[in-house]
């Protein structure tokens, strides 16, 4: 265990979560959670943490999977929107029910390269690099699917906003990547 690692009982995925890895802890599968400045060990499997985090943000994992299928037509190795308003989009490296599945935060991936062993070296925005057991082409496919999911979700949000703006009604919604100034004078004068 690294100096910054510690065992925690409760964990919700946050904007600081970069990756969740399965790890054997005795005879059980635990999770190693990599954050921007911390590492944790959780006694729960990665998929259990993803499911619990979806619930924490008001949705079921199954509902999030159906949403992905509806938005981009993907049914296998589906990327998941954990929380769109804090920009938490995760991609699985294999089938989520596979005990070797690693969950990667789309928002934190800065670079990806093929490793000498044929795996993928993922560099996060904090400059930390990890090697994951997935081919670079499969990883790129998962990144693209997740980018497509993000784009479709935010396009739908833009469509809703533009419909309401045309009618003179202003929404008070902001996604973390789409910060805007709203017409404050309109609210003060009303």
DSSP assignment of the chain equals: --TTEEE-S-----TTEEEEEEEEETTEEEEEEEESS-EEEESS-HHHHHHHHHHHTT--HHHHHHHHHHHH---SS--EEEEGGGTEEEEESS-TTSTT--EEEGGGEEEEEE-TTSSEEEEETTS-EEEESS-HHHHHHHHHHHHHHHHHHHHHHHHHHHHHHHTT-------TT------HHHHHH-
Whether 51 and 61 have beta carbons less than 8 Å apart is answered as yes
Structural domain of 10: 5-189
Report if pTM > 0.75: yes
CA dihedral 17, 23, 25, 31 (to 10 degrees): 20
Residue 171 pLDDT: 56
Q: Which residues of the chain have pLDDT under 70?
A: 1-5, 167-190
Residue 184 pLDDT: 36
Number of domains in the chain: 1
Say how far apart CA 21 and CA 104 lie, in whole Å. 9
Residue 176 pLDDT: 43
What's the pLDDT tens digit per position in 95-111? 999 999 999 999 999 99
């Amino acid at each position: 265990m690294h100096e910054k690692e510690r065992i925690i009982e409760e964990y919700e995925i946050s904007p600081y979560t970069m990756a969740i890895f399965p790890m054997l802890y005795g005879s059980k599968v635990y999770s190693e959670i990599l954050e921007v400045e911390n590492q944790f060990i959780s006694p729960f499997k990665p998929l259990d943490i993803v499911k619990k985090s979806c619930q924490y943000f008001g949705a079921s994992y199954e509902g999030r999977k159906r949403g992905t299928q509806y938005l981009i037509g993907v049914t296998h190795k589906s990327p998941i929107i954990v929380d769109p308003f804090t920009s938490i989009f995760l991609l699985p490296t294999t089938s989520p029910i596979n005990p070797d599945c690693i969950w990667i935060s789309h928002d934190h991936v800065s670079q990806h390269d093929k490793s000498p062993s044929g795996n993928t070296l993922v560099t996060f925005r904090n400059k930390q690099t990890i090697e994951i057991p997935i081919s670079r082409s499969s990883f790129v496919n998962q990144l693209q699917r997740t980018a497509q999911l993000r784009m479709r979700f935010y396009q739908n949000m833009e469509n809703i906003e533009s419909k309401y703006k045309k009618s003179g009604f202003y929404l008070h919604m902001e996604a973390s990547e789409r910060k805007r100034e709203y017409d404050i004078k309109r609210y003060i004068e009303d």
